[in-house]
Amino acid sequence: MKFTIQKKSSQSKARLGTLTTNHSTFETPVFMPVGTKATVKTLSPEEIDAMEAKIILANTYHLFLRPGEDIVAQAGGLHKFMNYKGSILTDSGGFQVFSLSKLNKITDDGVVFREHIGGQYVNLTPEKSIEIQNKLGADIIMCFDECVSYDKDEKYTEKSLKRTHSWAKRCLEFHKNTENQALFGIVQGGMFKNLRKESAEYLASLDFPGYSIGGLSVGEPMDLMREILDFTTDYMPQEKPRYLMGVGSPLELVDGALSGVDMFDCVLPARLGRHGVLLTSAGRLNIKNRQFMTDFTTVDEECDCYTCKNYSRAYLNHLFRSQEMFGLRLNTIHNINFLLKLMKNLREAINNGTELEFRKKIAQVW
């Protein structure tokens, strides 16, 4: 992996960069669509490619459970398994362990939990997480970490942070496929600035190829998230890519970029689409509403995606009410395209030095 900063803003902490892996080159700040189980729900790899999305995310926890990392490895890795030619990032599975499974025991060695599909007990360690990700074959992989809820007290959060740091070192030592896979460390520390600073500085000392910011957008107020994020990036290496995990609303993306973040991912656009909610230049639009039954205008006049160029609000309303799968596909195409275009426009604003004005326009809607 190679990351180059092309320009730094004089108006904010935002920067423009270029990131290259074995499978693609893309500009940052970038939004990564989520393909949890080796698929972006309802969409084909060709449709993702048509949107010029050159990197997506897949989920280690889910692929570990089904079909299993060994089967993916036998297929030749994730890229061949899902026929996707762009870059792929896999998370460590840590967040899903703590959010989806029935957690039994956290120790310094790892986590013993009951997985959510068959209820089997699983022991996931930092080494096991890296082994799984090595077999999946993504271009960028993550350290195994403990993601604590935002309301945990400082005593527990500090104990958790020590464990995450120990796990990060073990991940780094176990990871051998460094020529093909870039391993990112994950900054934790909850809502405590002293712990965030400690985490950022410790992980920087380990010299990872890139760094993630975890434990944000987990239920805390947005103002608090902005404050902690903006503080944290001050202590992260300037020359390495920074990835804010699980953030994808329009205003959060812009604020993250203005705080110096380069990469983002979130299930939000696809999940909203499957529930009939569309992201538009005028805000959220619930296509299920009765008022759209005879609305033959396009979803968003400012959008040039496949959905907006070819179909009306009335048709999407009909598809959703009729429970037709094509409607979910069209909604998802639009929502992901909306965020990809938002990031493209944001990069242009950063390049022109007008990102603060751009942020003001987004904030008025979102």
As annotated, the active-site residues are 91, 265
Q: How far apart (Å, rounded) are the C-alpha atoms in residues 29 and 22?
A: 19
DSSP 184: E
DSSP strand pairing (87-90 vs 55-58): parallel
User: With contact defined as beta carbons under 8 Å apart, do 355 and 346 qualify?
Assistant: yes
Q: How far apart (Å, rounded) are the C-alpha atoms in residues 17 and 7?
A: 7
The residues pairing with 26 across neighbouring beta strands, listed in sequence order, are 19
Structure tokens at 224: 């608090």
User: With contact defined as beta carbons under 8 Å apart, do 71 and 87 qualify?
Assistant: no
Name, in order, each residue with C-beta under 8 angstroms of 147's C-beta and a sequence gap of 6 or more.
Answer: 94, 95, 98, 99, 188, 214, 215, 218
The residues pairing with 105 across neighbouring beta strands, listed in sequence order, are 112
Q: How far apart (Å, rounded) are the C-alpha atoms in residues 115 and 107?
A: 17
Measured CA distances, 154 to 109, 188, 225, 226 (Å):
22, 12, 17, 19
Q: How far apart (Å, rounded) are the C-alpha atoms in residues 51 and 218?
A: 29
Nearest to 140 by CA among 245, 284, 280, 257: 245
Structure tokens at 187: 């900054």
| Number of residues written out for the chain | 366
Residue 29, classed as helix, strand or coil, is: coil
Q: Looking at the chain, list the stretches that DSSP marks H as alpha helix, in order from N- to C-terminal side.
A: 45-50, 60-65, 69-74, 78-82, 94-99, 126-136, 154-174, 193-205, 222-233, 250-258, 268-274, 306-310, 313-321, 325-352, 355-365
